[in-house]
Structure 1
Amino acid sequence: MTTDLMPHPSADPAVRPRSDVDLGRFNRNPPDISFGALIREDYATHGRDFWSQGFWAIAIHRFGNWRMGVKSGLLRAPLTLIYRVLNKHVQWLCGIELTYTVKIGRRVRIWHQGGMTLEALEIGDDVHIRQNTTFGLRQHGDPRWLKPIIGKGCQIGAGAVIVGPIMIGEGCTIGANVVLAQDVPVNSIVTVPKPVIKPIR
């Protein structure tokens, strides 16, 4: 498989992309599966554990997108209130920040909870994410479209920080406590340097 990556589609801070203009206005759940089937698939992805906090974060994210398919603003209003309350509870109780505006593929699993800010531009199918992970902007004040895209099939280790308008290629493994602000080619492994062990003098 090639290791070349397409450039990030929204990497220019001076040009607001159309995707940002439309952000949050449409249902961005995967279009090839019904809402009910999607929730059942997410439930299976999380080991059929009803109390999995990762499952609840994903399920509420799916609900937040599904409600945007309700065309009437009047009918959608109570659904929006429900979504906001549930989403805030996920942040408080699970320590997972994941807004519905993040585009998420199928079979994404959040393995653990706590200290997680998953504000990527897009997370592909079959991505696995561990605790204390941060996706988001490189620095305060950057336009909100300057966020990473996580490719399909990636494994994200505990404590990883992935920021800025970068592309993480399909099939990558990002090790624990790695800090990334640059593109990663497909099928790559990124780790921190090995610890240095010295005798006590």
Structure 2
Amino acid sequence: MLYIYRIAHLLHRLHVPFLPWALKVFNRVVFSVSLPPSVIVGRNVVFGYQGLGIVVHRHAVLGSDIVIAPNVVIGGRGQPGAPIIEDNVLIGAGACILGPVTIGRNVKIGANAVVTFDVPPNVTVAGVPARIVKLR
């Protein structure tokens, strides 16, 4: 799944017209993940269960060493901008990261949390709406 995205992203950067979109649709049908080729994904990003149910905003930025569990939404709220997720972040199953927010380094986001604000580094957030529950 991630290899197909990487090929689509390369073709997108080279301004190839149709093929990146076709590879995105292939990922959507086969792996049930919506990962547009315009997303920037760092190294060592792990999509749980091959990306099952994960939806990523087309302008999102994902750093390195991120673990994303199934059924996660990284999307917008109708405002300009998209989430930026920095390095070494763990996102629990069913979590929603909405709007133009920045998630700092070494953050853990609990399962089913709804994050709509900037999260500072080295904390754990959980709940609906998300709150900081632990400082590290």
TM-score range, shorter chain: 0.7 to 0.9
Asked whether 1:148 is paired with 2:92, we answer no
Aligned residue in 2 for 1:127: 66
The structure where strand makes up a greater share of residues is 2
Give me the whole-angstrom Cα distance separating, in 1, the residues matched to 2:35 and 2:122. Answer: 26
Aligned residue in 2 for 1:185: 120
Runs of 4+ in 1 over 6 A off after TM superposition: none
The structure where helix makes up a greater share of residues is 1
TM-score scaled by length of structure 2: 0.83
Which one-letter code corresponds to 1:89 in the other structure? F
Structure 1 85/68 Cα, relative in aligned 2: closer, same or farther at 3 Å? closer
SS at match of 1:88: helix
Q: What CA RMSD, in Å, does the superposition of the two structures yield over aligned residues?
A: 1.8
Structure 1 68/86 Cα, relative in aligned 2: closer, same or farther at 3 Å? closer
Q: Post-superposition shift, 1:86?
A: 2.4
Give me the whole-angstrom Cα distance separating, in 1, the residues matched to 2:12 and 2:24. Answer: 15
Aligned residue in 1 for 2:8: 64
Aligned residue in 1 for 2:31: 94
Which one-letter code corresponds to 2:95 in the other structure? A
Structure 1 164/107 Cα, relative in aligned 2: closer, same or farther at 3 Å? same
Aligned residues: 126
Percent identical among aligned pairs is 32
Which one-letter code corresponds to 1:84 in the other structure? W
Q: RCO higher in 1 or 2 (8 Å CA, sep ≥ 6)?
A: 1
**Ranges in structure 2 where 5+ consecutive residues have no aligned partner:** 129-136
**Ranges in structure 1 where 5+ consecutive residues have no aligned partner:** 1-55, 194-201
Give me the whole-angstrom Cα distance separating, in 1, the residues matched to 2:106 and 2:61. Answer: 15
Residues 91 and 109 of structure 2 are in contact (CA less than 8 Å); yes or no, is this contact kept in structure 1? yes
Q: CA offsets, 1:120-170, max 9 Å, x none? A: 52000000100010011113xx33xx2110110000000000011111000
Q: How does 1:35-74 map to 2 (within 5 A)?
A: 56=1, 58-68=2-12, 70=14
Aligned residue in 2 for 1:107: 44
SS at match of 1:177: coil
Which one-letter code corresponds to 1:157 in the other structure? G
TM-score scaled by length of structure 1: 0.58
Give me the whole-angstrom Cα distance separating, in 2, the residues matched to 1:137 and 1:150. Answer: 13
Larger Rg: 1
